[in-house]
Amino acid sequence: MSRTPQVPASSGVTIVEVSARDGLQADPGELSTDQKVELILRSVRTGIRRIETVSFVNPQRVPKMADADAVMAALRADGTMAALGARAIGLVLNRRGFDRAVDAGVDEVNAVVVCSDEFARRNQGRDTAELIEVAAEVCGAARDAGLPVSVTLAASFGCPYEGEVGPDRLAWVLGEVVGAGPDEIALADSIGAAVPTDVRERVALAAEVIGAAPIGLRAHFHNTRNTGLANATAAVESGVRVLDSSLGGIGGCPFAPGATGNIATEDLVHLLHRMGYDTGVDLEATCANVAWVQEALGHPVPGALARAGIFPPR
């Protein structure tokens, strides 16, 4: 008898691969531009169709993203992403970054609003209200350019400097961002503070605030305190159908002390498949990519599945 839970056939979950941006920006290893392109294309070939490829930020603040324009140029010249229908997402923090992203040929843009003022100032040099204004400007510019736009709400569950980020604060930020009219909002646990009860509460809150607006909901979890996959499960069971993850579990926020490790793509896909959800991702090929990225970075990665193996064995 199958142990796979019976879920509706329509219950697919989209994986947004973030290793090339959120993964690499805080990793001690160094990848060349060609290796970054290879990392992205390897993910595309496993079946992933939304990939956070680069960020258009000040290279003095995030040196590992200094070659963003070169990475995008190489991807466009290669043509694999376009041929397979994969979409390149560019992170932008202001209008200048947005203009660079458009010139580079991204398919989507993602702006960031940090939910706590102190983390916002340390991360982007502005408080939350100012970041909301920037996000609104980016959303308007994206609509004019015909580009899908998402807004990630960083520190949706907790701040490394202020502590708890309460539901009232998150509701205010959500309401302001919904008013800007993005296509998607992502709740991000930037420091790995959340537990499943928090996730269920905040997903319900976000759904209430979004209401009838045509805005999708995405979730981004870090595994800093080993709750990432539990939180992803809670999000999916609460109705979220788009989740961020990073090959091998690499990365973290360089401006959040101790916030190491996104949830690993291979671990997440294995979990979802065992739960009966379809991701469209080739799990064996993804595990093979973990071996490649470990060698490229020159150190082991925190993901578990590539070491333990897929179950049941194939």
Residue 2 lies in a domain: no
Q: What tens digit of pLDDT does each residue of 107-135 get? A: 999 999 999 999 999 989 999 999 999 99
The answer to whether 132 touches 173, Cβ cutoff 8 Å, is: yes
Domain count, the chain: 1
Q: Which of 5-9, 60-64, 188-192 has the lowest mean pLDDT?
A: 5-9
Residue 3 lies in a domain: no
Q: What tens digit of pLDDT does each residue of 135-145 get? A: 999 999 999 99
The answer to whether 40 touches 307, Cβ cutoff 8 Å, is: no
Residue 18 lies in a domain: yes
CATH code, 214:
3.20.20.70
Q: What tens digit of pLDDT does each residue of 31-49 get? A: 999 999 999 999 999 999 9
Domain interval for residue 293 = 14-308
- The backbone torsions φ and ψ at residue 100, rounded to the nearest 5 degrees and listed phi first, read -65, -40
75 pLDDT higher than 60? yes
- Active site annotation includes 159: no
Residue 220 lies in a domain: yes
**Alpha carbons 193 and 227: distance in angstroms, whole number:** 8
4 pLDDT higher than 60? no
The answer to whether 232 touches 222, Cβ cutoff 8 Å, is: no
9 pLDDT higher than 50? no
Residue 252: what pLDDT?
A: 64
**Alpha carbons 262 and 244: distance in angstroms, whole number:** 8
**Active-site pick, 115, 139, 159, 253:** 253
Residue 256: what pLDDT?
A: 56
Q: What tens digit of pLDDT does each residue of 213-257 get? A: 999 999 999 999 999 999 999 999 999 999 999 999 998 655 555
- Its pTM stands at 0.94
Confidence of residue 261 (pLDDT cuts 50, 70, 90): confident
